[in-house]
Homo-oligomer: A and B are copies of this chain.
Amino acid sequence: MMKIEAMIRPQKLEAVLEAVHELQLTGMTVTEVRGMGRQRGITYTYRGSQYTTPLSHKVKIELVVNDEMVEDAVRAIQEAAGTGEVGDGKIFLVPVADAIRIRNGERGEPAIS
């Protein structure tokens, strides 16, 4: 089992949700985050003083999938979230030891399908 963690542009979330849906993956968790990367940060003006933060708004998505689904999912996310411009984000693959469905205690692959 593998957790796919991707930081994407907020406005791409919709497209990613659709792409994931098409792969018949039914589970996913979304978090609002701010990210630092190659992308230029934001300069805020406050009554004459200016302050630059390297952080821009991103969305983090997390999906735990079976090992055989990893490559498909990565490709789908990459296609849906990409614009080709700096700031598109990253996908990380994090190994997962086990999964449990809270509702009924199912474990392992059945828990995430």
Residues on A close to B: CB < 8 A? 2-3, 6-8, 17, 20-21, 26-38, 53-55, 58, 60, 64, 74, 77-78, 81-105, 111-112
Give the contacting residue for A94; candidates B77, B95, B102; CB below 8 A.
B95
Q: Given the interface contacts A8-B102, A82-B102, A90-B100, does A17 sit within 8 Å of B3 by beta carbon?
A: no
Give the contacting residue for A102; candidates B3, B91, B101; CB below 8 A.
B91
**CB-based contact A90/B78 at 8 Å:** no
Q: Given the interface contacts A29-B33, A29-B58, A35-B29, does A99 sit within 8 Å of B93 by beta carbon?
A: yes
- Could you pull out 10 A-B pairs where Cβ atoms are within 8 angstroms? A17-B54, A17-B55, A29-B34, A29-B36, A30-B55, A64-B92, A82-B103, A91-B99, A91-B102, A92-B100
Q: How many copies does the complex hold?
A: 3
**CB-based contact B93/A78 at 8 Å:** no
Complexed CA–CA distance, A39 and B95 (Å): 26
